[in-house]
Amino acid sequence: MRCLVYPQPAAGAPPLPAHGGTSAGRMQQSRGAEDFAGLRGHQPADPPRHVAWKAAARQDGSAPLLTKQFAGANAEDVWLDWQALPPELDVEARLALLARWVLDAAAAGYAWGLRLPGTELPPGRDAYHVHACLKALALYESR
């Protein structure tokens, strides 16, 4: 029997940054037009600035928090980039950190892309994209 083992996500990894980084940053996130598109249930990884605070203030405290969603080209696209990680990380630490960020980006509802040496997966946000990214990490071979 053959199977594929995904990298174990890093424990205690730094969170996804709320704002895009620069070329020296760990990740880059580009913003779109940021047109309000609606509300969804709040998830712990959502940035506090996206919480629908006015809606929360109207509740008696028993209703769950809601998060504002935005539409527009590249709204909330996150790039997980191998080359932007600290150079002192070894291959296994890089794979674990990227695996953690793939799962965190999916949980936050972001669209994210993955850049590895020799491989680039464009931004996506569905379960298929999660598995495609984790598969790329599992099959990565250092050169």
Rounded to 5 degrees, what are φ and ψ at 117? -55, 120
- Vertex 79: Cα angle to 22 and 128 (nearest 5): 175
Residue 125's SS3 state is: coil
pTM over 0.85: no
pLDDT tens readout for residues 5-27: 999 999 988 877 443 433 333 33
- Vertex 128: Cα angle to 106 and 118 (nearest 5): 90
pLDDT (average), residues 94-112: 91
